[in-house]
Amino acid sequence: MILVFGLGRSGLGVLRFLRARGLAARFYDDHPKEPDVRTALALGFAPDFGLEGRYTQVVAAPGVPLDHPHLKRLREEGAEVLGEVELAYRLSKTPILGVTGTAGKTSTTLFTAHLLRGQGIRALEGGNVDPPLVSVVDEAEVAVAELSSFQLERVSTFRPRVAVLLNLGVDHLDRHGSLEAYHAAKLNLLKNLTPEDALVYNAQDAKVRQAAEKSPARLYPFQPAEDPRESNLRAALAATQAYLDLLGRPLDEEALRESLRTLPHAPHRFQTFARKGKVVFIDDSIATRTPAVAAALRAAPAPIAWILGGEDKGADLAPLRPLLSRVRVILALGRDGPRMAEALGGGAEVVVIGEKDGYKAMRQAVAEALARLEQGSVLLAPLAASFDQFKDYKDRAQAFREAVFDLGGEPWTPSSS
């Protein structure tokens, strides 16, 4: 019997995947949400909220840490704990192209799938980017999977046909406990590669290069660019070429030129979406790491009202302090926002948003920002995970956008700047 541990996007995707195969399972969630439970029941699965059953396999959602006490007990009782990526690999014959790294995963995944489709290959993206990998793997000719460290820490036999390793920086120290453990999870992407597989890697990242040169896979190094989007495109071009080489197919140059003209844009990545008078609103909800937030603080029009906070992932604050001269006010929300704002120091005013409800907190933050700015920008670049107040970074972005339009913001277009 299989237990699906954790519902939400990943868990419900796993239940649909199992149902399509006629496999029996039950489900459990620490904090079950009524709509998710209704969906799971409608799919024909029963709950086990008391964890009274005996299970051979437990498919745990990425948000559930491996050291969760219930998972520990289930392992002691003989269950194998795995994630949706390992499950998809074992139960589907579709080849998987896996993309990981500290930065750039989503854009590289979207670009790669887009370029492969332009070459006439039915490529579908999923994984850490919507939808879950299990929701696309059966429909695709090749599944292009964005893979987080949370997903990769629970793989064992998983072997992508093409692995893409973008970079190894600092992130998720709150979850993994150390930089070494975080990097080890990322490098699980490479551990089962063979000479029949391909590895695309960043030739300028010393840790990445060292790991790649130990791999038996066919190597496809790429040189990153100063512009992150261009770097991600270079990785995607190398991944596309690598997969075509595995198929023994030439690159269609004309189709590639057309694909490059229509590249997709990843949502919630430094998007100016609204304005009110001379104040613009910028959604960078995905900016949870120091380099991304630093880039946002440099690019946003000053003076800036900076919305900061959530669940701190162990962010390095030092590189941000020189940029505080561009910040008029820090709106500190969520579990760790006030502490992070205090640790930053500097001359910017700090307003603590004490409201616990995420949507109400965001509305209060936007109102406080507008009370202090006559021009400049309101920037959501939280430097923290969203799960204390929101479902995910997209839900956080939605709360921001709703607050902006409720408080008089108007849609922004390039012609309105």
**Best CA proximity match to 240, nearest among 118, 57, 366:** 118
Q: Are 258 and 247 in contact (CB under 8 A)?
A: no
Span 173-183, pLDDT tens digits: 777 788 899 99
Residue partners of 327: CB distance under 8 A and separation at least 6: 297, 302, 303, 304, 305, 306, 346, 348
Q: What angle do CA 278, 284, 348 make, to 5 degrees?
A: 60
* pLDDT, position 416: 58
Residue 105 is labelled as binding a ligand: yes
Beta bridge partners of 189: none
- CATH code 3.90.190.20 region(s) in the chain: 271-411
* pLDDT, position 103: 83
Span 328-385, pLDDT tens digits: 999 999 999 999 999 998 789 999 999 999 999 999 999 999 999 999 999 999 999 9
* pLDDT, position 265: 81
Q: Are 334 and 388 in contact (CB under 8 A)?
A: yes
Region 58-66: mean pLDDT is 92
Share of the chain above pLDDT 90, in %: 84
Question: Which CATH number, 3.40.1190.10, 3.30.390.50, 3.30.565.10, 3.40.50.11540, labels domain 86-262?
Answer: 3.40.1190.10
On the question of pLDDT at 128 being above 90, the answer is: no
Span 245-270, pLDDT tens digits: 999 999 999 999 999 999 988 778 88
* pLDDT, position 417: 54
Span 63-80, pLDDT tens digits: 898 889 999 999 999 999
- Higher-pLDDT residue of 61, 176: 61
- CATH code 3.40.1190.10 region(s) in the chain: 86-262
* pLDDT, position 266: 77
Span 5-36, pLDDT tens digits: 999 889 999 999 999 999 999 999 999 999 99
Average pLDDT, the chain: 94
Region 310-319: mean pLDDT is 91
* pLDDT, position 415: 58
User: What are the angstrom distances between the C-alpha of 365 and each of 256, 282, 306, 330, 361?
Assistant: 44, 14, 9, 9, 6
Span 35-52, pLDDT tens digits: 999 999 999 999 999 999
Residue 103 is labelled as binding a ligand: yes
Region 282-294: mean pLDDT is 91
- CATH code 3.40.50.720 region(s) in the chain: 2-82
* pLDDT, position 346: 75
On the question of pLDDT at 217 being above 70, the answer is: yes
Structural class in CATH, domain 2-82: alpha beta
* pLDDT, position 14: 97
* pLDDT, position 172: 74
**Annotation: CATH topology of 271-411:** Protein-Tyrosine Phosphatase; Chain A (3.90.190)
